């Protein structure tokens, strides 16, 4: 019934934990569940080597009581997946296990999307094979230890990757030279280390945020502490869509609180796309901070007129008629008394296939709204993504080949306004960003 949203996977790794690293990894994965809802896995490292438990579904379905059936260990690696390559088959569920030629075991968890691993022909886009498996095979083909293997292989990898690797009780973490996907480091209260896709997972574990893994950096966490080394020059271009939609509002990205960036996008949107109206209505969840920003800057009354079912997950809805209508009713309810006979500005963070907007405009209209003006706190998505976000082909994107007026007609809004690329980028802080899906110009050239 649902078509999954194109999330970006989540990774977590811990070391130096007093015995319950697997359970902590499970808790961290729940905090990252919004990044992948297809499968979940945890690997722990103990005296007997690496042990893995994984399966399809949400973290709480795969790990009953959030307690993995794995040995008590001091180091663990976890992953929640949304497939961008190779489908969702059991063989592609992460973390993946491997060993180098001399027999050093490792487990690897990846967020991103690889285009090529030079010298390794096992995977090519469109073949149905998973990109991460090729990376694991390339590391496994190296003769020495895992750190040396990563230093040898990563410079040959093209594409987006934030990875965490368990190598016995040692944890390695690395980001591609553009830093498309996030990855940060923290210190556990008891003295251990944690690596996570987002800082919200550190907060959940009571860990102190230290810093991000730098683009082009390999970090090693072992008995000697933390060591960072560069395997490639950095050309920072973090994904702006992380700020717009993917990341949790309470995470820090590039020194900026995601909620604050979304709020600033809403403030700027009110300036760039004002409208005569009576009430601002947010599309929950991710549209809320921008709607609050729009309301505060416009002086319009803010109303939580759309209630979102917390159990419905993060999903784009199928474009097929009957099921889509049923699905949107499952996910959203409307409070008619807040919109009846009013001119409504409905604010969402993004519009991709326009499935949500199409249904929500008619839902709010059916509840008695006099006018429904749609405001999107990011620019039109016109181009696909090659770096780990499942943004479809131009033909599937509502704004792929349509002008703004045509998109407004498609969703039957009285008016439609988007945020400019410049204002979106300005809201996300000073670090350079990838804006490829909005402009068609990608940082990789």
Ligand X SMILES: O=P(O)(O)OC[C@H]1O[C@H](OP(=O)(O)OP(=O)(O)O)[C@H](O)[C@@H]1O
Ligand Y SMILES: NC(=O)CC[C@H](N)C(=O)O
Cα–Cα separations (whole angstroms), residue 350 to 20, 90, 416, 422: 39, 32, 12, 16
* Total residues binding Mg ion (CB under 5 A): 1
For residue 220, list its beta bridge partners: 172, 227
Binding flag, residue 353, ligand X (CB under 6 A): yes
Point out the annotated binding site: 239, 286, 348-349, 385, 434, 437
* Total residues binding ligand X (CB under 6 A): 19
For residue 54, list its beta bridge partners: 41
Distance CA 52, CA 58 (A): 16
For residue 193, list its beta bridge partners: 15, 187
Contact window for ligand Y (CB under 6 A) among 111-119, 391-399, 414-422, 433-441: 111-119
Instruction: Find how far residue 196's CA is from the centre of its chain.
Output: 12
Binding flag, residue 314, ligand X (CB under 6 A): yes
- Beta carbons of 314 and 287 less than 8 angstroms apart: no
- Give 220 or 286: the residue with its C-beta nearer to ligand SF4: 286
- x-or-dash string of contact with ligand SF4, 291-310, rule CB under 6 A: --------------------
46: left (phi over 0), alpha (psi -120 to 50) or beta: beta
From the list 180, 193, 243, 302, which residue makes contact with ligand SF4 (rule: CB under 6 A)? Answer: 180
- x-or-dash string of contact with ligand Y, 3-22, rule CB under 6 A: -----xx-------------
- Beta carbons of 210 and 185 less than 8 angstroms apart: yes
Catalytic, out of 9, 54, 73, 428: 9
Write down the least CB distance from residue 244 to Mg ion, Å. Answer: 10
From the list 15, 27, 34, 110, which residue makes contact with ligand Y (rule: CB under 6 A)? Answer: 110
- Beta carbons of 5 and 51 less than 8 angstroms apart: no
| Token code pair at residue 274 | 């004002």
Binding flag, residue 331, ligand Y (CB under 6 A): no
Binding flag, residue 111, ligand Y (CB under 6 A): yes
| Token code pair at residue 402 | 């349509």
Could you say which of ligand X, Mg ion, ligand SF4, none residue 434 binds, taking C-beta under 5 to 8 angstroms by partner kind?
Answer: ligand SF4
Q: Which of 145, 147, 77 is nearest to 107 (CA)?
A: 77
| Token code pair at residue 30 | 């729940």
Binding flag, residue 239, ligand SF4 (CB under 6 A): yes
Could you say which of ligand Y, Mg ion, ligand X, none residue 347 binds, taking C-beta under 5 to 8 angstroms by partner kind?
Answer: none
For residue 303, list its beta bridge partners: 281
Binding flag, residue 378, Mg ion (CB under 5 A): no
Pairing type for strands 371-376 and 415-418 reads parallel
- Give 298 or 350: the residue with its C-beta nearer to ligand X: 350
Point out the annotated binding site for [4Fe-4S] cluster: 239, 385, 434, 437
Could you say which of ligand SF4, Mg ion, ligand Y, none residue 289 binds, taking C-beta under 5 to 8 angstroms by partner kind?
Answer: none
- Give 83 or 363: the residue with its C-beta nearer to ligand Y: 83
Please, what sign has the CA dihedral across residues 421, 427, 430, 431? negative
Binding flag, residue 286, Mg ion (CB under 5 A): yes
Q: How far apart are the first and last CA of the chain?
A: 38
H or E segment and range at residue 107: strand 105-117
Point out the annotated binding site for Mg(2+): 286, 348-349
SS3 370: coil
Annotated catalytic residue 428 = no
Binding flag, residue 419, ligand SF4 (CB under 6 A): no
Binding flag, residue 387, ligand SF4 (CB under 6 A): yes
Within 280-309, which residues bind ligand X (CB under 6 A)?
Answer: 283, 285-287
Binding flag, residue 70, ligand Y (CB under 6 A): no
Write down the least CB distance from residue 157 to ligand SF4, Å. Answer: 16
Q: Which of 310, 305, 320 is nearest to 353 (CA)?
A: 320
Burial bucket for residue 10 (CB in 10 Å: 0-12, 13-18, 19+)? buried
Residue 33 DSSP one-character state: G
Measured torsion, CA atoms of residues 336, 342, 347, 352, in degrees rounded to the nearest 10: 80
Binding flag, residue 180, ligand X (CB under 6 A): no
Binding flag, residue 112, ligand Y (CB under 6 A): yes
Binding flag, residue 434, ligand SF4 (CB under 6 A): yes
Residues in contact with ligand Y by the rule CB under 6 A:
8-9, 81-86, 92, 110-113, 130-132, 388
Residues in contact with ligand X by the rule CB under 6 A:
5, 245, 283, 285-287, 314-316, 348-357
Catalytic positions, written as ranges = 9
Residues in contact with ligand SF4 by the rule CB under 6 A:
180, 239-241, 385, 387, 389, 391, 434-437
């Amino acid at each position: 019934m649902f078509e999954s949203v194109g999330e970006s996977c989540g990774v977590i790794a811990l070391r130096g934990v007093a015995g319950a690293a697997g359970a902590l990894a499970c808790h961290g994965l729940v905090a990252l569940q919004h990044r992948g809802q297809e499968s979940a896995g945890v690997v722990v490292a103990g005296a007997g080597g690496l042990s893995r438990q994984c399966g399809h579904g949400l973290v709480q379905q795969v790990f009953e009581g959030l307690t993995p059936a794995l040995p008590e260990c001091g180091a663990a690696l976890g992953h929640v997946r949304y497939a961008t390559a190779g489908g969702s088959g059991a063989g592609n569920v992460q973390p993946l296990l491997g060993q180098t030629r001399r027999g050093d075991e490792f487990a690897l968890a990846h967020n991103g999307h690889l285009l090529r691993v030079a010298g390794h022909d096992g995977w090519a886009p469109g073949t149905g094979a998973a990109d991460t498996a090729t990376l694991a095979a390339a590391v496994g083909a190296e003769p020495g230890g895992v750190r040396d293997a990563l230093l040898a292989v990563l410079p040959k990898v093209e594409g987006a990757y934030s990875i965490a690797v368990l190598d016995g009780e040692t944890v390695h973490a690395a980001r591609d030279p553009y830093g498309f996907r996030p990855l940060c480091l923290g210190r556990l209260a008891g003295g251990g280390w944690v690596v996570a896709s987002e800082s919200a997972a550190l907060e959940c574990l009571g860990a102190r945020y230290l810093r991000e893994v730098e683009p082009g950096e390999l970090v090693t966490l072992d008995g000697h502490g933390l060591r960072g080394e560069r395997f490639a020059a950095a050309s920072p271009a973090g994904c702006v869509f992380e700020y717009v939609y993917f990341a949790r509002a309470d995470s820090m990205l590039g020194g900026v609180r995601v909620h604050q960036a979304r709020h600033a996008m809403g403030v700027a949107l009110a300036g760039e796309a004002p409208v005569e109206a009576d009430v601002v209505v947010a599309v929950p969840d991710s549209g809320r901070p921008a709607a609050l920003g729009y309301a505060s800057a416009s002086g319009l009354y803010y109303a939580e007129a759309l209630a979102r079912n917390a159990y419905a997950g993060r999903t784009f809805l199928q474009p097929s008629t009957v099921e889509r209508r049923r699905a949107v009713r499952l996910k959203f309810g409307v409070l008619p008394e807040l919109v009846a006979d009013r001119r409504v500005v409905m604010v969402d963070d993004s519009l991709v296939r326009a499935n949500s907007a199409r249904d929500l405009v008619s839902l709010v209209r059916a509840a008695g709204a006099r006018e429904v003006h749609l405001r999107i706190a990011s620019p039109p998505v016109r181009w696909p993504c090659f770096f780990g976000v499942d943004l479809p082909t131009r033909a599937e994107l509502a704004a792929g080949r349509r002008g703004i007026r045509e998109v407004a007609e498609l969703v039957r809004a009285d008016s439609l306004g988007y945020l400019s690329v410049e204002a979106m980028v300005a809201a996300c802080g000073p670090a350079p960003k990838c804006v490829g899906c909005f402009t068609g110009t990608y940082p990789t050239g």
